[in-house]
Structure 1
Amino acid sequence: MIEQPSYYAIIPANVRYDKKLPSKAPLLYGEITALCNKEGVCWASDDYFMNLYEVSKSTIQSWLKSLDENGYIDREVILKKDSKEIDKRYIRISDRVYRKTGIPYADNLENPIPKNRVDNITNNNNTSINKEVEDAPQNNESESLVSEKKSFNLWQKNWGFPNSVAQQDLHEWINDFGDELVTHAIKYALRSNVTSRGADRYLWQVFDDYKKYKITTVEQALKKEEEHQQQKSREYAAEKTKRTNYRQPIQKEKLPDWSQEGYVPEAPKSTMSDEERDELKKKLSRFRKKEI
């Protein structure tokens, strides 16, 4: 079991709202800042992050690559002597982030930055502290704790307390769609018998559809759900008709001639040859002479 220390993670707005990043990469960024807060540099291996987020190694590497390519982290790899095998890997928060946001992430760094510009601080015991940021979207919910929302309470009541990943997702969904629509989506998932294990992934699909069809209200969602149900009913009826039409015809077995009304049996046909017939006549003739 991974130890859950009480140091803080910082996820600036420019990281949280960067559409070029995979959806969970900002969480990984926050964990890296937390580890940098503790050590001044992140030493954690891919295995550590794999166990923490319960994803594959390739997924972790993809998140790290995206953070690196978009200028949020710097990675340094040290190889073993006379070998291409990796000995150590360091991850640091990129100086480019500081220059762009003016946000500090640790007091023990060489160039700390004023503390009055903190965007989003999340410690890994799932407690969030959100403050207003100038560059955040105007409709964001950063001023209200996610835990105060109906959607959060509904999730907790039916699927248990949401982990840090689910909390981040809830925060993002509430920002994008509002608490009322997120609550409706959770109720829709519950009616579909979605379990806690698959809730996060299922809801991502729901909200992807909302974005695709530009759904922003509960009324629009209900209308789309009704259309979807009607479409399913039509497809079911069409499939049922197709199965009926392609059903093989029932073959009726023909009854034998002797079972038919008015049947007259045919006289048996002789199978004797002419010679055999002549021989039989001779035998009968001799037999009659003996009787006389």
Structure 2
Amino acid sequence: MDYFKQRRAYRNFKMYEASVSNGQNNLYRELLDYANDEGKLDVQFRMKNSALLSLTGLSEPGLDKARNSLVQLGLIKYARGKKNVKPPEYRIINLYSRSAGYPTSNPTTSHKSRSAGLDEVGQPVGQGGGQLVEHKELTSTDPDLTDTDSYDDDAGVTREQVFNHWTSLWDFPTGIAIPEIDEWLTEFKPEVIDFAISVAEEYQVKRPGSLRYMRAIIKGWQKRNIKTLEQAKKAATDHDKRTANESKSKRYAKPHRKEITPKWMQNGASQANSKPNSSDNQQDDMSDEAFLAFMNSQEEAK
């Protein structure tokens, strides 16, 4: 692969095909330059995450996002590494061999570059014609670029994807939520925390109660020593079954008839000794006297 042709093709790609962010651009340029310096433009090569973080100025979530974007744009190929075993593996995809037919406002630019001898500059020659070949371990004089580090790049879900999932449901985490999420991600793999967010999403938990709901899930898993995604999924399934059975039992349970105890039994008195209150009798007598007085007045009027 010709380094300068690749550079020009990449520039045209940014101008006419896709938008590339600063983070994505920095990452691609560092990968391209490193591959050129090490004579690995046409083959796979390994590079530490910590080295890329230092060279690009990206954060770990930013590195994950930029790398995934470059893969989706068809600029690089990428294979995850193994924690404390081997760094991630990359391969630069040849851009200039495609017949893109980009427009140009200065047709002589390319010709002038060639006449200046840029394409004839000695370039590292790749192995093979664009085919993947057996990868040989790098022998770089800078071991910091290829030695393994503690950053786990083998997870199916990244930290950034966890935060993106949270943001898609409840906006960006608050200053209170971020430290707790970081603590959860220290204890659990990102895929487990992402599944917890999916559970909250399934139950349509709203933003005001999102953090409280997540705390309850994580606390329950901690008590039951649940660590893996498979264990978390089984716990969620068991919970759903248990909830469904409880709901079914309540639906078909016979209604309980509540017996009403007479007041005379509640007061501890016998029914035989239960007599009307004297005030009640007096009120009844007064009502009778009023009725008789009313009738007498009617007779006198006649």
TM-score by length of 1: 0.34
More strand by share: 1
- Of structures 1 and 2, the one with the larger relative CO (CA 8 A, separation 6+) is 2
